[in-house]
Amino acid sequence: MNQETIVKEARDYLAREKDQAFRGEVEKLLLAKDWKELEDRFYRKLEFGTGGLRGIMGGGYNRINSLVVKSATQGLASYIVKTFPEKAQAGELSAAIAYDSRHYSDVFARAAAAIFAANGIKTWLFSAMRPTPELSFTIRRLHCDTGIVVTASHNPPEYNGYKAYWNDGSQVIPPHDEGIIREVDAVRDIREMDFDQAAARGLIVLIDREMDEAFQAMIKSRLYRPGLVKAKAGEAVIVYTPLHGTGALHVEKVLGDLGLAVTTVPEQREGNGDFPTVAFPNPEEAAALEMAVQLGKEKKADVVMATDPDADRFGIAVPSDPKGPSPGEFTLVTGNQMGVLLADYIFLSLGEMGKMPEKPVMVNTVVTTGMQRRVAESYGVECIECLTGFKWIAAVMRRCEPGGDLAGKTFVFGTEESYGYLVENEVRDKDGVSAAALTAEMTLYWRSRGKSLLERLDELYVENGYWQELGISKYFQGPEGPSIMKGIMDGYRKDPPGTLGGVAVARVRDLVGGADGLPPSDVLQFFLEDGTVVSARPSGTEPKIKFYATCRAEVKGAKRSLGEARAEAARKLDAIKKDIRHVIGD
């Protein structure tokens, strides 16, 4: 990108951006002639992708800022008006907006509300930060036509983002995502309205407690054994961290209402967009849970819980085997393992209570452990796979409703490897709050039977084989990043490996054009002769390529110990890791 083009783009941005802070950044860069930084901010427009927007905050078209958020909202509003013309003409369109603890989240949310109002769309705006799952719940409860949550989920503090939702409370999928993208790309003029005037006319309505109470009541109603929880609540010690995000409001209240004593990490309880105690506010990262685990050791907790900033992701750590090599330590439970434990508990509970539907369905993604399918099928539950991302799980849920091609089947659980779980129908995105409540009940249930969660997991390993997973991600920043990632994927497609980790590749599944009933997606999967599956996909929200591997080592049928199975799985994954790192240059 030459300097003349950079200056032209920068001047165009300055003519349209009204926020002085973001304008000032670009003006200073122009004055300093910092062409490298300016190129990074203007070599492309931050794409409104299939999940919305996510990027580093700052001035420029390749950043998250007021102008980019307003343009996205105008495009979304235009699409909604065109899609529901009768409601638009009658003045009946509505939207809901929530936001998290990140810097500028409240500013962006108010700006989006004012643009919806200017386009004749009544907006229900939360008065303070709220979790993503509550936004999904609110869209459904208030029968909104669309919704937005301003969040960058688990990304570092310099990021923010914008997720767009459809009228069923799920993130948008084709064809609506493509239609919205076209509208966003075409935006030049933005219709805005003064926020206070819009509120005075009833086009913006602040909400909080009425949705909070309904959301919390719904979560408590989804428990299987409230009587057990009430009787045993005093026996459990729970430590929790919201990682400076939105989760404390609901997790503390719901668990407290159940009689459970929750100790929240004080340094991480309040919302703080700097995320001062963690490098990444992500429960997938062991470092993010260090303070919570330390407090868990001090309190002798039965379980340590964590939610990410917008409280859709949920992770736990539990005491290690007291007779094992690390007594007094805690073991982090992976997203795949947590999905297995919750699936097992849900299906077990439905069966014991005589409430298992006639045709039950669980949904997980193509990169989630195959162990979940085995556990589901052992209970007579069908496991349906979908593309990566909870919007695709929600799409399967929609298909199970009357009129859908899966009508007659009943959704009972959805999960993905990246710490996402959904145990209710009232929300159509992953829900860390309901996962926390059900995990507390599950912990008490197995405790009442003399088992820890790890002991139950080991039982499941013996019955279903030991499964272990591997995840590798590499970032490719800057203008050349997309082409590097495309080169890696193209290389795999043109010359797929004959072996991975020394094991022959039996089958390759390329989803770029769709396959096996799945929509098109830039995903490659290699099915090895021993049952191991290796997947590669560029991230849809960050400039990185992600690799996943899941392998199995039989225990019961192979007459080997669980320890021997663990060693075999670790050996397989280590060899696969070396092959992948060789390709991506690590």
Identify the burial level of 100 via C-beta atoms within 10 angstroms of its C-beta, where 0-12 means exposed, 13-18 middle and 19 or more buried. buried
Q: What angle do CA 165, 168, 170 make, to 5 degrees?
A: 45
Tally the residues of the chain: 586
Query: Which residue bears the tokens 């949904």?
Result: 363
Q: Are strands 503-510 and 499-500 parallel, antiparallel or unpaired?
A: antiparallel
What burial class does residue 490 get, using C-beta atoms within 10 Å of its C-beta: 0-12 exposed, 13-18 middle, 19+ buried? Answer: exposed
Q: Which residues have C-beta within 8 Å of that of residue 539, sequence separation ≥ 6?
A: 473, 545, 546
DSSP 520: P
Residue position matching structure tokens 């298909």: 399
Exposed e or buried b for every residue in 356-371, given b needs 16+ CB within 10 A?
beeebbbbbbbbbbbb
Q: What tokens does 307 get?
A: 């939610």
- Measured CA to CA, the distance from residue 85 to residue 393 in angstroms comes to 29
CA dist list (Å): 213 to 217, 442, 484, 575: 6, 23, 48, 51
E strands of 356-514, at which residues? 360-365, 382-386, 410-416, 420-422, 466-475, 499-500, 503-510
The residue among 530, 508, 512, 528 whose CA lies nearest residue 520 is 512
Catalytic site positions: 153
